[in-house]
Structure 1
Amino acid sequence: MLSISAIPAFNDNYIWLLERSGQAVVVDPGDAEPVLKVLSEQGLSLTGILITHHHFDHVGGVEDLLAEQAVPVWGPHNPEIGSISQRLSAGDKIEVLGHSFSVLEVPGHTMDHIAYFHQPSDSASAPLLFCGDTLFAGGCGRMFEGTAEVMHRSLQLLADLPADTLVYCAHEYTLANLEFARAVEPDNAALIERQQKAQRLRDLGQATVPSLLAEELATNPFLRCQTAELQASLKAQGRLEGSSGAEVFATVRAWKDTF
């Protein structure tokens, strides 16, 4: 049985810890110190590292972890990340603690960005997605390197995954994302309920992630650009530009950048 937990880092990062039978793999360890602390406290042995993209808050702790334990590092084809031992492309499959993960290329936030997707063989377990900074709970990453068309296409690739997929993003941005989502769709009942639930969790000091992909499809404006409801809301506010999903996405993303 695969156990997944969050290791908080910096102000709002989550380093995901996957554990099975005393062995551990971490996703995007931007800081080694909290990872080493958890490994020591729980008596776990690090056996691998997954990287989604090259930003420092996702790779900054890799070298320090490797200095403690030489383990495989999986990641994208980007020479800037020199510690990667196995470089991955779309369609590749890797074994992580006995579970098969497929690699998805999801450029836009950065052009090297990849995600890891696990489709369980039994119906009792939920699919898993580790998506770094491409898709957030209630939002998506900024386009530091890609275009709106590229980012929209990546998000649509994730939107087409099974609706019961658990989405493990890398930041606790949910409240701010949902505040913006309410500005885009103020009458979205599912969004209103989600915002209230997320606020209760944060008031208790609890994480709002992972989220459910079905919930993202119902409330995340960046996955709803082709819906009639979101476009009608933008039109009523005098903000609708274009009619294609990519054009609407560009409008919504530009609005979020200055929100």
Structure 2
Amino acid sequence: MDTARPKRSARFYAVCIGVGLLAGLMSGLFGVGGGTVIVPLLVLALGFDQRFAAGTSLAAIVPTASVGVITYAVDGHVAWIPALILAVGAVGGAQIGTWLLPKLSQTALRWSFVAFLVIVIVSLYFVIPSRDAELELTWITGPGLLVLGVITGILAGLLGVGGGIIVVPALLLLFGTSDLIARGTSLLMMIPTAISGTVGNLRRSNVDLVAAACVGIAACTTTALGASLAKLVDPFVGNVLFSVFLVFIATQMAVKAVRGRHQR
């Protein structure tokens, strides 16, 4: 069997739907794209290779993030212009990241990112976001958002991580934004970024559109639930849950770093 394109079967569709349901819940709850859930599960459960799984995940994020944005926007928890600024920076940064990819040590980058996540995880227990805090554009925050977008794009290009695990904590800790606005804005930023990446992946035949459609459609059914749960959860509890999610991501990244070192 081709590991990049698994055989279509009942199990294939069942796994895609299950992955989508879980990814959608995580996306709505934490304001992330869900790729950190989709990619490893497609690799482990269906035998996708890493790049093919990443390309498929990116395509699935488009409908998932769209539903999440609508859910957050209904209650005014999306900062539209800041999200656009972030997206512009992220699209440009992704090009830089892919250019740097062959020039830098992946192992060193992964350990650096793990260290970054550890700092964020600890900080989340000391900074409790206010639900009333807005993300206002000023001469300082505007350029700051653009820089954040570029950094997000670079890391996405280098490590294949989604923007949410960078943007959400940055908006919380550096910009003092409400946790709900941070999540809604993060999801909106992902849509043009994911579309841009998917177009490139389609040109390189690096996406399984059937799997992406199954995952994406399934995710749409639980994204709104995740977003609704996020609104009900106390901000501190939300921080705790998000920190647990980041521990999962950091562990994944550390395992990849260790494996990468052993394979050298």
| TM-score, length basis structure 2 | 0.24
The structure whose residues are more often strand, as a share, is 1
Higher relative contact order (CA 8 A, sep 6+): 2
The structure whose residues are more often helix, as a share, is 2
Larger Rg: 1
| TM-score, length basis structure 1 | 0.24
